[in-house]
Each structure stands twice: as structure tokens, then as C-alpha cells.
Copies of this chain bind each other. A is one copy, B any other.
Amino acid sequence: MRRRAEVLTVVFFFVIVVSLFPLGVGPEIETLRLIAPGVIWVAALLASMLSLDRLFSADYVDGTLEQMLIAAQPLSVLVLSKILAHWVVSGLPLVLVSPVLGMQLGMDVESIGVLVVSLAIGTPVLSLIGAVGAGLTLGVRGGGVLLSLLVLPLYIPVLIFGAGAVEAVQSGMEYGAHVSLLAAFLITALLLAPWGAATALKISLD
């Protein structure tokens, strides 16, 4: 029930961000199509960030995090489940609505397909990387923005390849390379991020 509300907001957020650009760009469908992948991908980054600082902070304040650290199951598993939850509310919705947004911005079917794939592979990476940042900035002055300062630069490669894949297919080029690089990111992140985030949490609670 609470989840559904959250997902709703995120979707809502996307629609706003994406519909803000025709405003600036004007209705020329040509330009719209041109910028569509970038816009949608940036929206993905921002959405992921918006919810990031709420990833651990509540548990930190009310002491649940301590309990997780001394729980019988390994911390990284608990962290991974939290990351998953974060993706479900921040990433997944975008993957689902992206076809609509794509059409709204006049993308053709094939590019939309690639867009969805790239988002499906890319957005989990965002949540994974973000978790590490969230762990590091826990209980730190000026947390939220510092967090984004740390995380956004690391998001950029994902953005480049994600948007790159779609632009490639739009300009009739080969996009496999981009997608497989994204996949590589995902695997690396899956292996390292939970451990990294767990370490970060241990550090911030010591």
C-alpha cells in the first residue's frame, strides 16, 4: 500500500520532468526525438537520487541499523534487500512507463525497445552505486546534497552508455557494445556494491 503510493509519485515525477522539455524545446518532434533518450535517462538518475537519502537514514535514527549490524544474517544480504526495494520504487516504475514517455517524445518502436532494455539493465546499477554513497553520508552534516555530490559523478558512465545505446540505434548504428558494457557494470556493481555499502555502514556506525 505504502509502496504503491511511492511508485505513483516517482511515475508522476517522470511525467513532469519529461513534459518540461517540450516546453523549452517547443513542439518540433524532430528535436524532441533527438533529446528523448537523454532526457529520460537523466530523469532516471534524478529519480534514483531523490529517494536515496531516505534509504538508510530512518533505520539509522531509530536504531534498526544497529540491529542489522549485529543480526545473524550477513549485513550485505540485508543491504541488498534494501537496495532491491529502492530499485523497485525508483527504477522499475521508469522502466514500465518509459515506452509511454518515449512515444510522447516521438521515438520509434525499435529505439523504445532499446530504451527499455537499457533502463532495465542500467537503473539497478544506479541503486547499487547509490547505496554506497548513502552509507557513507549517514549522519553527516549537509547529508542529502553531499550524497548527490558523491554519487552523481559515478552515475555518469551509466548515463553515457544508457543514453548512448538509444542514440546509437536511433542513428542506425550498432548498439550491442553499449548494452553489454551496461551489463558488465551491473554485474560488477552486484558483486561489489552490497559489500561496499555494508562496509560504509559499519564505518558510519562505529
Contacts and interface: CB of A to CB of B under 8 A. Distances in A.
A184 interface: no
A8 B160 CA distance: 22
Given A17-B152, A50-B53, A50-B145, 11 more contacts: A8-B149, A9-B148, A10-B145, A13-B152, A21-B39, A23-B38, A24-B159, A25-B35, A50-B50, A54-B144, A89-B145
Interface stretch (A41-49, A76-84, A126-134, A191-199): A41-49
B34 A149 contact: no
Interface in A1-22: 2, 5-6, 8-10, 12-13, 16-17, 20-21
- Number of chain copies forming the complex: 2
Given A142-B5, A142-B9, A149-B12, A26 B17 contact: no
A164 interface: yes
A146 interface: yes
B8 A141 contact: no
Q: Which 10 A-B pairs have the closest CB atoms?
A: A24-B38, A25-B38, A24-B163, A2-B142, A6-B145, A6-B142, A16-B152, A24-B37, A20-B38, A21-B38
Interface of A: 2, 5-6, 8-10, 12-13, 16-17, 20-21, 23-26, 28, 31, 34-39, 41-42, 45-47, 49-51, 53-54, 61, 89, 141-142, 144-146, 148-149, 152-153, 155-156, 159-160, 163-164, 166-167, 171
